[in-house]
Amino acid sequence: MRTPSDRVALYQFWIDSLKILLEHHCESLKEAKRRGLEVPHIPETPQCGFFRTRLVRNGPWVVARVYLSQPVDRRGNLVGDEVLRCEIAGVDYDPEAKWLWLADRPISSAEYRFGVGHRKWSEDNRIHVPRADQPVDWERAPSPTFRKKKGPKHGNPSTKRRRAARS
């Protein structure tokens, strides 16, 4: 019987990096290093965690996660190989190819969940959100539109009575 890898050990780089950024109000590990803070060395192999990145120059920020897929049975024993995966803006990528772009900007798991939820919400409600794989031209980006929801009008009952009395 094989047991899955320890979650704390898998996410240790992300935990240490995020702790430094939150304590010192930095945007990235690069900024923390410029301020003279001691930052963890970015390993060459991908590490599990939540990050933000841009897929193209001047593109919108998107959330990403690197995680270890661990197929387990009811008892918690591994039934297959552990595979390192990378998901950026809902699309799977090779973690080795994207790691150095991701490692500098860790984010909290709450920020990751918000980013995923916002993307799904904007797709469901047909709200214009710039595509992650194209640069944003802010001079030509469409302005947001706010449409009133169509449906029954639920006005003030006293107003309805006054209108009825006038007729």
| Segment holding 19, helix H or strand E | helix 12-24
pLDDT in tens, 27-52: 999 999 999 999 888 899 999 999 99
In whole angstroms, what is the distance from residue 87 CA to residue 67 CA? 8
Contact 55, 133 (CB under 8 A): yes
> Shortest CA distance to 138 belongs to which of 63, 60, 61?
60
Q: Which are the contacts of 141, defined by CB distance < 8 A and separation ≥ 6?
A: 130
pLDDT in tens, 109-165: 999 999 999 888 887 877 666 677 777 777 777 676 666 656 555 555 566 666 666
Contact 106, 16 (CB under 8 A): no
State the average pLDDT for the chain: 84
